[in-house]
Homo-oligomer: A and B are copies of this chain.
Amino acid sequence: MIHTKDKIIEAAERLFAEQGYASTSLRQIIAEAAVNLASVHYHFGSKERLLDDLVHRKADPVNQARLSLLDASESKAAGRPLSVEQILNAFLLPTAKAASADPTFVRLMGRIHAEGLMPAIVQKHFLPTAQRFVSALRRALPDLPEAEFLWRVHFMMGAMSYTMCGTPIFPAAIEDFHSRMEKLVRFLSAGFRAPAGNGEEKPA
């Protein structure tokens, strides 16, 4: 038998990914893990910190892989701006890789974004990485007016988080995660390269 802490983490990850954070009670988790209720608070402090710990363990390595890929692409480009596709691939390929190794994990990540209001966790674990990618995208799209660019980043984040959740309302083909990410890259890079509107700022 393994440590109490690990049993809690294991049960929590599965239940959070399946049912969402809010809908999962600590009492459900401790029943699955066969541990005592108070042990959750002893090891993690609170339900929210349990989620934070989970995200820390699972998302940080993926974010590291994302940044490594981006670094590699950038040093290969030797100062020239990357293509939108290269940047999006650097972000999404580690996601696909993690998803095939551990399918529950990506659903959990999607839920964390989609379920909305845990801004603290999102900021803490995703913002630093996200900012590097946004900067790279900005360099790849120098002619896009700023407001247009920022909203497109926003649209992208919506599409990504929704997609990672994994359960489409319309029954789409259940296929390997990798080709889903490829579809997403095609869709998003075309969106980013769309001509800007002429309303507010004009492209250079």
Q: A residues engaging B (CB < 8 A)?
A: 19-20, 22-23, 111, 114-117, 119, 122-123, 127, 130, 134, 146-148, 150-163, 165, 168-173, 175, 179-180, 182-184, 186-197, 199-200
> Which B-chain residue is minimally distant from A154 (CB atoms)?
B168
A194 contact set on B, CB distance < 8 A: 186-187, 189-191
Flag if A20 contacts B158 (CB, 8 Å).
Answer: no
Given contacts A115-B115, A116-B115, contact A157 B169 (CB under 8 A): yes
Flag if B162 contacts A158 (CB, 8 Å).
Answer: yes
A19 contact set on B, CB distance < 8 A: 117
Out of B116, B186, B197, name the residue touching A114 (CB < 8 Å): B116
Flag if A173 contacts B191 (CB, 8 Å).
Answer: no
A147 contact set on B, CB distance < 8 A: 172-173, 175, 183
Flag if B23 contacts A117 (CB, 8 Å).
Answer: yes
In the complex, 12 of the A-B residue pairs with CB atoms within 8 angstroms, ordered by the A residue number, are A20-B116, A23-B117, A114-B114, A150-B168, A150-B170, A150-B172, A153-B170, A153-B172, A157-B162, A158-B158, A182-B197, A189-B194
